[in-house]
Structure 1
Amino acid sequence: MSKVTFKPGTMVNPVPVVMVTCGDMEAESNIITIAWTGIVNSEPPMTYISVRKSRHSHAMIEGSGEFVINLTTEKLAFQTDYCGVKSGRDVNKFQEQKLTPVPGQHVKCPMIEEAPVNLECRVREVHQYPSHDMFVADILAVHADESLFHENGKLELERAGLLCYSHGEYFGLQKHPLGKFGYSIMKPKTKKRIAAEERINKQKKWSNKKG
């Protein structure tokens, strides 16, 4: 396979795209769209966001040490793009995009009610780089829409219609997984058991719809 080589660039794709809320719910708050985010530790659960130093939200997060990561969806793609290109210095993004601010349990900045999942975060460390600062944070709480839970209590994020970002464009995530973690080394007996469980679950869903 022949390849084209070019200068270094930020070419890890696709990446998550999220709306990050910051500021104070009782005073000034803002929404910034972030594509440079992820998980850095599991115990305790920690995440990060990288924010350009010139952005309005940068000073808010730096001052308060708090933010909320709001997962976004295909239905929220327009709002997600708007909050990434418009500055909170000029507009109230909640009002302009008819997004609903709701209080968190641990931080002063609002969460976005329309987002399927919200992660309340408190900054632990700040790593300064030439163009961006990376805010590494502890995840204090996770809030998920009740409609995304199966009757057995499992969170089914695949039903949320989540959004990702790849090389300048937004894409929806496919609803059907290619395989579960570890499927490449799964024993045949385990595969049969899982397939049987999935058939039963599908039959239950069909029965519930008919009922």
Structure 2
Amino acid sequence: MKKSLGANTLAQPTPVWLVGTYDEAGQPNLATIAWGGVCCSKPPCVSIALRPATHSHDSILDRKAFTVNVATEAFARQADFCGMASGRDTDKFAATGLTPVKSELVDAPYADELPLILECKLQQSVKVGGHTLFIGEIADVKADEAVLSPEGYPHIEKVQPLIFTPVLRNYHGVGKYLGQAFSIGKELS
């Protein structure tokens, strides 16, 4: 029997993404978010949700751009720090030792050390409760060659993305391989 846990943000897992923006003074910033995901295939888009009180919120609206830097197991401490400190009074790139790189396609920076980057142009924003949902069209995906599969795509075991469990506030790595999508369920048809 299932136990009711009430209305809560218990979907698991959520990503740990560092959202790169420039503020009004042109200072690069990183904000750690867990409310995000792919929201469209054509055109390729992701969505992220930020509270209006965050430093990055208005930066996205002003610059009409952001990057998604996929946090990895190796950078868990830096990702956690970027979620606790405010870009209003902290240079998060300097504090974490990450290197800002200016995107050539969108008006936002990314972290050179992180292996998987999505450069996004703001398509729309929607107020949802206490957050704003930003939908960004992916202008380009940049990946370190070391994390690519033989087919040329990011391989999850090489990227080693950091994942988050809401409410409990735990970080985890990715689990074991279970099978090929759109294939392992065929035996049930």
Say whether residues 1:88 and 2:87 are aligned partners.
Answer: yes
RMSD across aligned positions (CA): 1.8
**1:5, distance to aligned residue in structure 2 (A):** 1.9
Q: Which residue of 1 is the match for residue 173 of structure 2?
A: 172
Higher relative contact order (CA 8 A, sep 6+): 2
**1:150, distance to aligned residue in structure 2 (A):** 4.0
CA distance in 1, matches of 2:29, 2:76: 17
Moved over 4 A (4+): none
Q: Is the 8 A contact 1:30 1:92 kept in 2?
A: yes
Q: Which moved more, 1:43-52 or 1:148-157?
A: 148-157
Q: Which residue of 1 is the match for residue 39 of structure 2?
A: 40
SS class of match (2:184): helix
CA distance in 2, matches of 1:155, 1:88: 29
**1:4, distance to aligned residue in structure 2 (A):** 2.6
CA distance in 2, matches of 1:4, 1:79: 36
Q: Which residue of 2 is the match for residue 108 of structure 1?
A: 107
Gap change, CA 1:178 and 1:130, over 3 Å in 2: same
CA distance in 2, matches of 1:25, 1:128: 22
SS class of match (2:178): coil
CA distance in 2, matches of 1:26, 1:180: 47
**1:105, distance to aligned residue in structure 2 (A):** 2.0
Q: Which residue of 2 is the match for residue 181 of structure 1?
A: 181
SS class of match (2:66): strand
Gap change, CA 1:58 and 1:148, over 3 Å in 2: same
- Using the aligned pairs only, state the percent identity: 34
Gaps of 5+ in 2: none
Gaps of 5+ in 1: 188-211
**1:157, distance to aligned residue in structure 2 (A):** 2.9
For 1:142, the aligned partner's letter is V
CA distance in 2, matches of 1:155, 1:60: 28
Q: Which moved more, 1:164-173 or 1:22-31?
A: 22-31
Say whether residues 1:71 and 2:70 are aligned partners.
Answer: yes
For 1:123, the aligned partner's letter is L
Q: Is the 8 A contact 1:25 1:103 kept in 2?
A: no
Higher Rg of the two aligned structures: 1
Gap change, CA 1:97 and 1:53, over 3 Å in 2: same
CA distance in 2, matches of 1:62, 1:153: 33
Normalised TM-score (structure 2): 0.91
**1:186, distance to aligned residue in structure 2 (A):** 4.6
**Following superposition of structure 1 onto structure 2, how do residues 87-166 of structure 1 map, counting pairs within 5 Å?**
87-151=86-150, 153-166=152-165
Q: Is the 8 A contact 1:94 1:100 kept in 2?
A: yes
For 2:52, the aligned partner's letter is K
CA distance in 1, matches of 2:7, 2:186: 38
Q: Is the 8 A contact 1:161 1:173 kept in 2?
A: yes
CA distance in 2, matches of 1:154, 1:28: 32
**1:109, distance to aligned residue in structure 2 (A):** 1.4
Q: Is the 8 A contact 2:102 2:110 kept in 1?
A: yes
**1:40, distance to aligned residue in structure 2 (A):** 1.1
**Following superposition of structure 1 onto structure 2, how do residues 170-209 of structure 1 map, counting pairs within 5 Å?**
170-174=171-175, 176-186=176-186
CA distance in 2, matches of 1:25, 1:114: 24
